[in-house]
Amino acid sequence: MDLEEKLRILGAAARFDVTCSTSGGRRLRYADRPESAALPGVYYTWSEDGRCLPLLKILLSNRCVFDCAYCVNRASARRPRASFTPDEVADITMAYYRRRLVRGLFLSSGVWGNANHTMEKLLLTARKLREERGFKGYIHLKVIPGASAELVREAGLYADRLSVNIELPTPESLRLVAPDKSLEDILGPMAEITRNMEAYCEEGKVSAKAPPYLPAGQTTQLIVGATPEDDLRIMELAERLYRDFDLRRIYYSAFIPVNEDPRLPPLAEPPLLREHRLYQADWLVRRYGFRVGELLDDSHPFLEEDLDPKSAWALRNLQYFPVEVNTADYEELVRVPGIGLRSARRIVAFRRQHSLDFQSLARIGVAMRRARYFITCNGRYCFGGRFEERTIRGHIARSFRCEAGENSRRGQLSLLDWGVGEDPPRSRAKEALTEEEGCAQRLPTTEDVLIAACGEI
């Protein structure tokens, strides 16, 4: 099989893994552009500061001895199989990178033979890139569940980020739909990575010669909707994972029915809105100081579809509102729907000099279409209607349905509509577009790149 065909197969096979914020074009409209489609394996990801970055996202092999019911690459699936050698991946990555088509590599793999054999190949690829090819870009490696502690430790010396996919929220679900995996095989490497990050960090404090270890930390992925757990169960697990393993991010991946299997639910569509609400709740827990128990409990085990979780919490706790923006603490401000961390900081800074009115709040970046129900400015309530749950809920839900309608007409779910008041949307999208356009102008054809890659072999 030639390199181009391998790249087509193994680039397409990698798109279901979302642990690097990419989604195979499902969520980032920029990735749907024909120029990108001409380059198999190139996906766009968001950096922490909101920039849109192209990554080469591929599998080393889509051969797998495991048979996870939800997976397109499961052993029993009848599909074309291919494997790269570590040298081939290193060559393609360098060819893309030197032409500034990608900023880094995301490399995962099916379980090829066994966990250690696969992990050795992934590690060898990263080592070749760093030591033989002088690759300075970003590397995200997938850790294979059950891989040995030594291989996991070494991988962290070459990769910027490692991820071990936990996939399912409970051991029972894992046994049901991914019977070849065990929770110990997943949590073991996660714990090993955490220990190594701490150990190297300590070493770095006493010796300037200590090697950098995993600067972008570790992440994991949870599939949503393939098994019956509710959002409360999922978010409680997320809270524990953040606490115990110091994870940078958990990626929630709406279950996409790609296989027919009686163990899986008969979904017509991936539960994208549920996934979106989980991301919002996760964001509130990680960045805004909410506890999972405030957002969900046994009487509300699922996040509401028509309301973002911050608005839903505010409506269940109207005794804390309306908040007077000219006097409220920062901690109170960040709990107001429509006021994000940045807006809250700006409010606190601005009101040292001036009194705030509704116009200045909008200029500061407050999402007034949400915030107006929950604030007063110098004692004036901004929303013309009654301050009561039913009225406010009706207004917010209606505006959400309008937005959803607009987004579906545009062919996307607005993942940037955080609904928690964080205000990246316009600026990020604009920046990302600028970035993307810059890349697109330089995009040659697949053949150009592969010819160049082969020339370098």
**Which residues form the interface with ligand SF4 (CB under 6 A)?**
64, 66, 68, 71, 73-74, 110-111, 178
User: Smallest gap, in angstroms, from Cβ of residue 246 to ligand SF4?
Assistant: 24
Kindly state the greatest CA–CA separation across the chain: 72
Amino acid making up residue 363: R
C-alpha pair distances (Å), 297 with each of 128, 223, 236: 49, 21, 10
The least distance separating ligand SF4 from the CB of residue 17, rounded to whole angstroms, comes to 9
User: Shortest gap between Cβ of 70 and ligand SF4 (angstroms)?
Assistant: 7
Residues 214 and 132: their CA atoms lie apart, in Å, by: 20
Q: What does the alpha-carbon distance between residue 95 and residue 105 come to, in Å, rounded to a whole number?
A: 12
Q: Which is nearer to ligand SF4, 68 or 295 (CB)?
A: 68
Angle at 410 between CA 405 and CA 412, to 5 degrees: 85
Element (H, E) at 140: strand 138-142
Are 18 and 251 in contact by the 8 Å Cβ rule? The answer is yes
The residue among 15 and 310 lying less far from ligand SF4, judged by its C-beta, is 15
Nearer to ligand SF4, 69 or 449 (CB): 69
Q: What are the residues whose beta carbons fall under 8 Å from the beta carbon of 103, sequence distance 6 or more?
A: 53, 54, 55, 97, 137, 138
Q: How far is the CB of 404 from ligand SF4 (least distance, A)?
A: 31
Q: Tell the smallest beta-carbon distance from residue 87 to ligand SF4 (Å).
A: 22
Distance, CA of 20 to CA of 419 (rounded, Å): 22
In whole angstroms, the minimum distance from the beta carbon of 178 to ligand SF4 comes to 6
Nearer to ligand SF4, 36 or 253 (CB): 253
Q: Determine contact, residues 343/310, Cβ cutoff 8 Å.
A: no
Provide the minimum distance between the beta carbon of 108 and ligand SF4 in the complex, in angstroms, as a whole number: 8
The token pair that represents 256 in the structure block: 């996409």
Of 59 and 281, nearer to ligand SF4 (C-beta) is 59
CA angle, 323 as apex, 423 and 420 as ends, to 5°? 25
Residue number with CB closer to ligand SF4 (123 or 178): 178
Check if the beta carbon of residue 222 is closer than 8 Å to that of residue 235.
no
Complete DSSP assignment for 222-256: EEESSS---HHHHHHHHHHHHHHH--SEEEEEE--
Write down the least CB distance from residue 291 to ligand SF4, Å. Answer: 31
Strand partners for 380 = 377
Phi, psi for residue 254 in degrees, rounded to 5? -60, 130
Q: Which amino acid is at 290?
A: F
Q: Which two tokens stand for residue 1?
A: 């099989």
Number of CB atoms found within 10 A of residue 176's CB: 16
6 vs 372 by CB, closer to ligand SF4: 6
3-state secondary structure of 10: helix
Quick one: 60 or 281, whose CB is closer to ligand SF4? 60
Residue with Cβ nearer ligand SF4 (30 or 43) = 43
- Which residue lies nearer to ligand SF4 by CB, 226 or 315? 226
Q: Strand 249-254 relative to strand 52-59: parallel, antiparallel, unpaired?
A: unpaired
CB of 51 to ligand SF4, least distance (A): 29
User: Cβ of residue 85: shortest distance to ligand SF4, in angstroms?
Assistant: 19
